[in-house]
């Protein structure tokens, strides 16, 4: 990825003097076969598909006894990885630079396929091999979490490249708009405007200011709600993973209930954006999705395995999200008196549910903290409701 980020083709074209070699390199970069190989989905199939072929067939076992096969596999992996990175980053001048949506969707699909392969290696080793269960688990964890790190790096490279292009275009449009809005001052021989024309001009200026204020408020609303939608996306992914990892445990039922409610809250927010005519900024939701995956690499005292402390830390993060969500519903409820598009009854219901989620997380956090940090006490802290009942009795 660092090699591709250095833009080797661009550097080569700048270093070469005009001549046959430079023309040949440009012709090769813009040729149809190279354009086909740099089609992001095809490059992903060559890269991730090669991994599936290696680990889910007897090819991996054959490489241990055949040096030529081992060398061929290594060359393919390096070439396929380089090709995939070139295709999704789109930094060098090639035949065609695909859109950000195509490249981003390819990275998400490839990351999912890579994660599924890593998960399957935990339970089923490559055919023809005799690895121990511990070795399989350690290798699969390295593959899973380091794959997430590479995907996050690719997302950063694509985002920076997109922002650089979009920022330049936005600055150009801003300069053009400023030039178009420039007002010429009357010259020496120009007739002074009358009082009526001045009043009309003042009315037009007030109308323009009101329109500008409305556009500014709408822009703030778009940013604010999309930021919350990104946080809700990360919260849904975190709650889903916590419920899956602890299914069947003492906390599994509570975590599954929280997962359902958090997912319903995100759906309610998506409907709210549609009611307010607020467009969804998908790059923010994709970034939040990748950020949640990258946060899994926090070791919490262990490098290759997840510790019990991870549940405690993740529950605290999920509670912070619930607090932010409650603040969102509370703010929109206060504004519902001025905007008929906001359903006050629905917002009150969402606010009550957010408060109940916070109380549930607090009780669960107390149980987990006692079990992990003070296991010798042998007692779980009572919930506030239970404590109140005991004292009253």
> Which of residues 211 and 170 earns the better pLDDT score?
170
What pLDDT, on the 0 to 100 scale, is given for residue 264?
93
- pLDDT, one tens digit per residue, over 19-47 is 888 888 888 888 888 888 888 889 899 99
First and final CA of the chain: distance in angstroms? 66
- pLDDT, one tens digit per residue, over 41-66 is 898 999 989 888 888 888 888 888 88
CA 306 to CA 144: how far, in whole Å? 13
Q: Do residues 89 and 4 make contact, with C-beta atoms less than 8 angstroms apart? A: yes
Q: How confident is the model at residue 183 (pLDDT cuts 50, 70, 90)?
A: very low
What pLDDT, on the 0 to 100 scale, is given for residue 200?
53
The mean per-residue pLDDT over the stretch 151-170 comes to 76
Cα 304 from chain centre: 24
CA 140 to CA 159: how far, in whole Å? 28
CA 260 to CA 263: how far, in whole Å? 5
- pLDDT, one tens digit per residue, over 351-376 is 999 999 999 999 999 988 888 887 75
Residue labelled with tokens 């070139």: 86
What pLDDT, on the 0 to 100 scale, is given for residue 370?
87
Across 95-104, 115-124, 304-313, 337-346, least confident range:
304-313
Q: Do residues 364 and 254 make contact, with C-beta atoms less than 8 angstroms apart? A: yes
What pLDDT, on the 0 to 100 scale, is given for residue 356?
94
Percent of the chain with pLDDT over 90: 19
CA 346 to CA 334: how far, in whole Å? 13
CA 37 to CA 86: how far, in whole Å? 10
What pLDDT, on the 0 to 100 scale, is given for residue 361?
93
> Which of residues 325 and 134 earns the better pLDDT score?
325
Cβ-based neighbours of 235, under 8 Å, separated by 6 or more: 262, 266, 318, 321, 322, 325
385 pLDDT above the threshold of 50: no
What pLDDT, on the 0 to 100 scale, is given for residue 348?
93
pTM of the model: 0.45
What pLDDT, on the 0 to 100 scale, is given for residue 259?
92
Nearest to 283 by CA among 149, 107, 155: 155
The mean per-residue pLDDT over the stretch 330-335 comes to 91
What pLDDT, on the 0 to 100 scale, is given for residue 98?
81
312 pLDDT above the threshold of 90: no
What pLDDT, on the 0 to 100 scale, is given for residue 392?
36
176 pLDDT above the threshold of 70: no
Residue labelled with tokens 């002074």: 192
What pLDDT, on the 0 to 100 scale, is given for residue 203?
53
The mean per-residue pLDDT over the stretch 369-391 comes to 53
Radius of gyration of the chain (CA): 29
Residue 40, both tokens? 């992001």
Q: Cα angle at 314 between 228 and 141, to 5 degrees?
A: 115
Percent of the chain with pLDDT over 70: 80
Q: Give the phi and the psi of residue 382 in degrees, each rounded to 5.
A: -75, 150
Across 13-17, 111-115, 239-243, 328-332, least confident range:
13-17
């Amino acid at each position: 990825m660092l090699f591709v980020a250095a833009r080797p083709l661009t550097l080569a074209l700048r270093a070469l003097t005009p001549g046959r070699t430079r023309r040949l390199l440009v012709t090769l970069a813009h040729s149809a076969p190279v354009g086909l190989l740099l089609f992001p989905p095809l490059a992903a199939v060559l890269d991730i598909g090669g991994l599936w072929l290696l680990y889910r067939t007897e090819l991996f076992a054959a490489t241990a006894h055949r040096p030529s096969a081992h060398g061929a596999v290594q060359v393919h992996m390096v070439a396929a990885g380089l090709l995939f990175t070139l295709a999704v980053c789109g930094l060098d001048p090639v035949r065609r630079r695909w859109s950000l949506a195509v490249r981003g969707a390819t990275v998400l699909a490839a990351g999912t396929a890579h994660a599924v392969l890593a998960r399957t290696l935990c339970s089923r080793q490559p055919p023809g091999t005799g690895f121990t269960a511990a070795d399989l688990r350690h290798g699969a964890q390295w593959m899973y979490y380091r794959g997430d790190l590479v995907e996050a790096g690719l997302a950063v490279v694509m985002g920076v490249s997109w922002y650089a292009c979009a920022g330049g275009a936005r600055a150009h449009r801003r300069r053009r708009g400023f030039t178009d809005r420039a007002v010429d001052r009357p010259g020496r021989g120009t007739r002074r405007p009358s009082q009526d024309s001045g009043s009309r001009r003042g009315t037009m200026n007030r109308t323009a200011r009101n329109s500008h204020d409305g556009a500014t408020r709408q822009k703030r609303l778009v940013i604010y709600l999309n930021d919350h939608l990104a946080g809700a996306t990360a919260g849904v992914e975190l709650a889903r993973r916590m419920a899956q990892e602890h299914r069947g445990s003492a906390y599994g039922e509570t975590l599954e209930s929280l997962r359902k409610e958090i997912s319903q809250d995100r759906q309610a927010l998506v409907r709210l954006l549609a009611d307010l005519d607020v467009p969804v900024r998908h790059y923010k939701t994709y970034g939040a999705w990748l950020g949640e995956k990258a946060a899994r690499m926090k070791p919490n005292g262990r490098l290759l395995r997840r510790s019990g402390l991870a549940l405690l830390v993740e529950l605290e993060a999920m509670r912070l999200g619930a607090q932010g969500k409650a603040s969102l519903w509370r703010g929109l409820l206060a504004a519902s008196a001025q905007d008929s598009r906001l359903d006050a009854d629905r917002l009150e219901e969402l606010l009550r549910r957010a408060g109940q989620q916070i109380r549930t997380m607090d009780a669960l956090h107390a149980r987990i903290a006692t079990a992990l940090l003070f296991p010798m006490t042998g007692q779980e802290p009572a919930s506030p409701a239970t404590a109140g009942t005991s004292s009253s009795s």
